Structure 1
Amino acid sequence: MGEQTGGKTGGRGGAELRGSVRVEPRGPFSLTAGIRFLEGFTPAAREAAGADSLEAAFALEGSWRTVGVSVAQDAAGTVRGRLFAERALGRAELSAATAQLTRILSLDVDGSGFAAVGERDPVIGALQRRYPGLRPVAFWSWYEAAAWSIIGQRTRMTQAAALKQRMAAELGETVVVNGGPQQAFPAPRVLAGLGSFPGLPAPKVERLRALGEAAAANRFDSAGLRALPREEALAALQELPGIGPFSAELILLRGAGDPDHAPLHEGRLADAVQHAYGLATRPTPDELERLSAGWAPYRTWVTLLLRVALDEASR
């Protein structure tokens, strides 16, 4: 359950406290585990500082206003967020910010049945005990996930992450959160008018411009993508220039936050399953489909645990 309240106190740098969010997780949830994941997730470009609170800025879906947020979890497990902005947030924007925050932390999903997956599958049960309370942490919006997929095409992940961070610094808005500046990825209207950017080849600029135009017109929204039949959502996303099947899956899983989809044709998932289950060979997509059926309705969550385990083993 999530609650939001409006408010106003003095801030710095033009940003003020504009509201608060309170969410009671359903099922095990650890914000600290999510932050540790982000610190190792290259696109997030977060330093491994060991913090137990999450501070960031993001473009609010719909109005695409830039909002800052500070999120913490108390000893009872309640997640509390504080929202910062230069101008007051209306009721609809407070509601949208609450929905966006709960979605990116996977708190909009009832996780009380997740333990049953581990009871059915001992391998997954061991991973749940190894990473207690870890849920997927999504991009701030389908739009930002789509931008990342375009920026990262045919580019090393570290280079793409540095480029995305530089775009946020030079083109995005900054919000002061608890006295510190937080930079948001540029809003759609900025990308819609993008002429060039150092390090971005012309075809990527064109694709980002088309993406910005589509997002500024609210052609998609994360909740709407989640509500569509999965194949229909993936097909619709592939109508965007530069978005193919792999990118569409990334947007749906890591942008819209679909909790129950396993990317069967992604090589890293096959590697992760081979590692975790001790298989002699990489499983085929058909084998992955049969195995992942037992992870429903949390296939995305299980995929995260498997990949985190593989990443740790590869270090």
Structure 2
Amino acid sequence: MNNTRAKDLPPSSRIDVRQGNISVSGRFSLAESINFGFGARQAEAGKQVMRLAFVTDSYDDHTAVLVSQPAADSIHVEVVAASDPGRALQQVARMLSIDIDGTGWDELGRDDQLIGALQAARPGLRPPLFHSAYEATAWAVLSARRPAAAMAALRDRLSEAHGASFDIAGETLHAFPTPEQLVRVNSFPGLPEEKLQRLHGVARWALEGKLDTEWLRTVDPVEAQRGIQEIKGIGPFYSMLVVVRALGHTDVLAEGEPRSLATLGRVLGRPGPVDQRELAALAESWRPWRTWATVAIRAAGNRLAGP
């Protein structure tokens, strides 16, 4: 893995808290983000607004927002509920990967034929991230060795019962419990005792400050991954998921993602998936955008035909 982090690149966001606007440098499509299913969030094809309800970065409160894109270079965030609207906008910017100047990514697509094809397949897509390292780690515990759809439904029920609910533009969304709320859950229908105890472990780590998202963004990705593996139930694959899909790094090359390896093999006309070594060699020319590139591979799916 490379140590290039989101904070090492020029920030792109200028946040106007009064107007609820976030400026964007480089190409970005909110519609593509909405149509990118990931974790407990399902893809919503054709939608033009994004409804979000989540635990704030302080991990002691909830935020609810309605996100729209009035112009190519601007995102509008209507804050439905937040104790600190400015922090809420900053968290939204990170979750949508618009806290980064993406012009270099756009330029890579003009110089690299494969990256250009991936970008054309999902124009304006940037990696949508988990709300926070806490929620990503909790999802890793919930979804491990279980069907994602079933665990997403369980997460929603758990959030409704023990988190917070918000009416956002006519739809009700349930935000995941804060760590303090989660440790008070003694049992829940459909949630095995072992998973509940592991969720309590995640919550305690968050309460102790060990899952602070902004702090983890400053830690070397390899060290962050090793640290997260100290949580019971989190192995190498899921610690990598947290680091790559919650912290907003641009140049961490994910390992062992079968879907990405299979998609790349098909795009390159191979009889099967490429292996990790071939991906790593190919990705050398994608620095410092290897994270974004591998997400683009995964996202392209059936939209991009092979040669």
Does TM, scored on the shorter chain, surpass 0.5? yes
Alignment check: 8 A CA contact 1:45 1:165 kept? no
Q: Does 1:135 align with 2:126?
A: yes
Alignment check: 8 A CA contact 1:117 1:296 kept? no
Secondary structure at the counterpart of residue 43 of structure 1: coil
C-alpha distance 76-287 of structure 1, shift in aligned 2 (>3 A): closer
Secondary structure at the counterpart of residue 44 of structure 1: coil
Alpha-carbon deviations, 1:59-80, whole Å to 9, x = none? Answer: 1011531111011111353111
Alignment check: 8 A CA contact 1:274 1:280 kept? yes
Q: Distance in 2 between matches of 1:266 and 1:50?
A: 27
Shift of 1:42: 5.9
Residue correspondences, number: 293
- Bigger mean CA deviation after superposition, 144-153 or 119-128: 119-128
C-alpha distance 223-215 of structure 1, shift in aligned 2 (>3 A): same
Q: Does 1:220 align with 2:211?
A: yes
Q: Does 1:5 align with 2:5?
A: no
Which amino acid in the other structure matches residue 83 of structure 1? Answer: V
- Look up the match of 2:230: 239
Q: Does 1:98 align with 2:89?
A: yes
RMSD: 2.0
- Look up the match of 1:74: 70
Name which structure has the greater RCO, CA cutoff 8 Å, separation 6+.
2
Q: Distance in 2 between matches of 1:150 and 1:312?
A: 31
Shift of 1:276: 1.6
C-alpha distance 313-194 of structure 1, shift in aligned 2 (>3 A): farther
Ranges in structure 2 where 5+ consecutive residues have no aligned partner: 1-12
- Look up the match of 2:140: 149
Alignment check: 8 A CA contact 2:25 2:98 kept? yes
Alignment check: 8 A CA contact 1:191 1:211 kept? no
C-alpha distance 64-4 of structure 1, shift in aligned 2 (>3 A): farther
Match of 1:303 among 263, 269, 294: 294
Q: Does 1:33 align with 2:8?
A: no
Shift of 1:153: 1.0
Q: Distance in 1 between matches of 2:302 and 2:272?
A: 18
Runs (4 or more) in structure 1 with deviation over 3 Å come to: 311-314
- Look up the match of 1:186: 177
Shift of 1:51: 2.0
- Look up the match of 1:174: 165
Q: Distance in 1 between matches of 2:258 and 2:112?
A: 22
Q: Distance in 2 between matches of 1:119 and 1:313?
A: 17
Q: Distance in 2 between matches of 1:230 and 1:162?
A: 31
Ranges in structure 1 where 5+ consecutive residues have no aligned partner: 7-19
C-alpha distance 63-200 of structure 1, shift in aligned 2 (>3 A): closer
- Look up the match of 1:11: none
- Look up the match of 1:44: 41
Alpha-carbon deviations, 1:253-300, whole Å to 9, x = none? Answer: 222222222212222221121012212443222221111122222222
C-alpha distance 115-125 of structure 1, shift in aligned 2 (>3 A): same
C-alpha distance 286-208 of structure 1, shift in aligned 2 (>3 A): same
C-alpha distance 307-192 of structure 1, shift in aligned 2 (>3 A): same
C-alpha distance 290-171 of structure 1, shift in aligned 2 (>3 A): same
Secondary structure at the counterpart of residue 23 of structure 1: strand
Shift of 1:126: 1.1
Match of 2:267 among 261, 267, 276: 276
Q: Does 1:56 align with 2:52?
A: yes
Q: Distance in 2 between matches of 1:5 and 1:57?
A: 18
Identity of aligned residues (%): 33
Q: Distance in 1 between matches of 2:115 and 2:60?
A: 38
Task: Write the mapping of 1:156-167 to structure 2, written as runs, cut at 5 A.
Answer: 156-167=147-158
Alignment check: 8 A CA contact 2:29 2:72 kept? no
Which amino acid in the other structure matches residue 44 of structure 1? Answer: R
Alignment check: 8 A CA contact 1:260 1:296 kept? yes
C-alpha distance 244-76 of structure 1, shift in aligned 2 (>3 A): closer
C-alpha distance 45-267 of structure 1, shift in aligned 2 (>3 A): closer
